[in-house]
A and B are shown apart, each in its own frame.
Chain A
Amino acid sequence: MGYTLNFAAVWRSFDDLLLGLLLSLQLAIVSLLIGAVIGLAVAFALTGGPVWVRRPAGFYVTLIRNLPILVLVLFTYFALPQLGLRLDKISSFVATLSIYSGAYLAEVFRAGLLMVPNGLREAGLAIGLTPMQIRFSIVMPLMFRNVLPSLSSTMISLFKDTSLAAAIAVPELTFEARKINVESFRVVEVWIVASGLYVATCAVLAALMRLVERRLSVPR
């Protein structure tokens, strides 16, 4: 024992950590947006699509949810070039995380869609809306309200998963923390500050989502 904390080296490189955090957030936001589009399409396919769409959609969700994300990250970056698909580090990671989050969001959205009462769809049909109009102006807004709590936890775990980008040397927060760790040997301090930044960001994200939930909750 007898370790004395000295944060000087970490504060000197604090800007790098912040830039890393910024990149982590960017990776999470872009992947979340692409993942949400994939997830929404898959959720609609799972709940109302014909069998030939439902089967592959179900296969995608089951496959991705049962694979470790690190294997997916390494596979996309190191193995796909063998098939002639060469992506740079960041696009490769964003593609992986989008496909990964798409599967989890599909489950979230599917559960939300099932909660929308069928009578509302029928009411839409009765007043002469097209299926597309029903989907966009009745079903989707209600679904979003239903899924906000699980969406918020998926979002937070997605943000934490950006740390995996360090495995292919994308300079996000975990990568920067490891770099400072190697340069300064202030091991304990580096990891205290880095995990502090993650925890704080997660707390802010959770608080923001709670705010949105309160704003959108059904008035009683």
Chain B
Amino acid sequence: MSDLSIFLDEVWIARFALLKGLGVTVSISLLSILVGSALGVLVGLCLTYGHPVVRLIVRAYTDFVRGTPVLVLVLASYYILSTVGIDLGPFQAGVLALSVFCSSHVGEIVRGALQAVPHGQTEAAKAIGLTFGQTFTSVLWPQALRQVLPTWVNTAAEMVKASTLLSVIGVAELLLRTQEIISRNFLSLQFYFLAGFLYFVINYGIERLGKYVERKTAVPS
């Protein structure tokens, strides 16, 4: 049997494990993107319009999260939560860590976008008698969103890449499945290649999507 047919045989044997791993990878990424973005928009709002005390606390939170490696966030979340008696499985703890990581990213993106809206717009809105709520929902946010969207799509690729770190705490996502398969058949080169290929396809797809959104949301000049 040639090397290639041995590899293809092994892929066929491992097909369900690989698919399940891929499914877990996708769910981790989606969940942490959703939770992280909701949290992140809140962080961005606090950073831009918050009371100085709130702003200080949220700033400390983002700086702390951004200064810590994601792997450390994952490990800390997993070990600390179980120690202080909050019973979360590795999956939940991992998703929590990635959401926190995502929230700090999205928070900075939202803050940057809101601050990039010229101040004159707020003044103009005030001049025609809009409340702050109205100014925000119909003047500031639509303009900020245009800036946020492309970067936000790319954050999705960031989360897919970060999801591999959950293999370290034993979440059976694609990378851990790959490692398990390799420990059975020792085809490390081929199977790491396969995993890398799958991750590349997903992330490249997201990158193209980001470029597309960027073109669509660009201000016509």
Contacts and interface: CB of A to CB of B under 8 A. Distances in A.
Contact of A82 (B75, B161, B163, B188): B188
B196 A194 contact: no
Main secondary structure on A side of the interface with B = helix
A130 interface: no
B76 A195 contact: yes
A70 B175 contact: yes
Contacts of A67: 161, 196, 199-200, 203
A119 B165 CA distance: 47
A67 B85 CA distance: 36
A66 B72 contact: no
Given A83-B189, A198-B67, A69 B161 contact: yes
A202 interface: yes
Tell me if B's interface is mostly helix, strand, loop or mixed. helix
Contact of A174 (B75, B161, B196, B199): B75
Interface string B60-73: 00011011111111
B80 to A, nearest CB: 5
A163 interface: yes
Contact of A198 (B68, B84, B189): B68
A200 B63 CA distance: 10
Contact of A66 (B66, B69, B85, B204): B204
B165 A191 contact: no
Contacts of B66: 202
Nearest to A188: B80
**Of listed A62, A63, A161, A187, residue having the most chain B CB within 10 A:** A187
B71 A166 contact: yes
A199 B68 contact: yes
A63 B188 CA distance: 20
B69 A163 contact: yes
Interface in A1-40: 1-3
Contacts of A68: 160-164, 175, 199
Contacts of B192: 71, 74-75, 78-79
Interface in A50-70: 62-63, 65-70
Contact of B83 (A74, A156, A166, A187): A187
Contacts of B168: 167
B79 A187 contact: yes
25 contacts: A1-B85, A3-B83, A3-B85, A62-B204, A62-B207, A65-B207, A66-B207, A67-B161, A67-B203, A70-B165, A71-B175, A74-B179, A75-B192, A75-B196, A79-B188, A82-B189, A163-B69, A166-B71, A174-B75, A177-B75, A194-B76, A198-B72, A202-B66, A202-B67, A203-B63
Interface of A: 1-3, 62-63, 65-72, 74-75, 78-80, 82-83, 156, 160-164, 166-167, 174, 177-178, 181, 187-188, 191, 194-195, 198-200, 202-203
Given A67-B161, A71-B199, A174-B69, 13 more contacts: A1-B85, A3-B83, A65-B207, A67-B203, A68-B162, A75-B193, A78-B182, A160-B69, A187-B79, A191-B75, A195-B67, A198-B67, A202-B67
Interface of B: 63-64, 66-73, 75-76, 79-80, 83-85, 157, 160-165, 167-168, 175, 179, 182, 188-189, 192-193, 195-196, 199-200, 203-204, 207
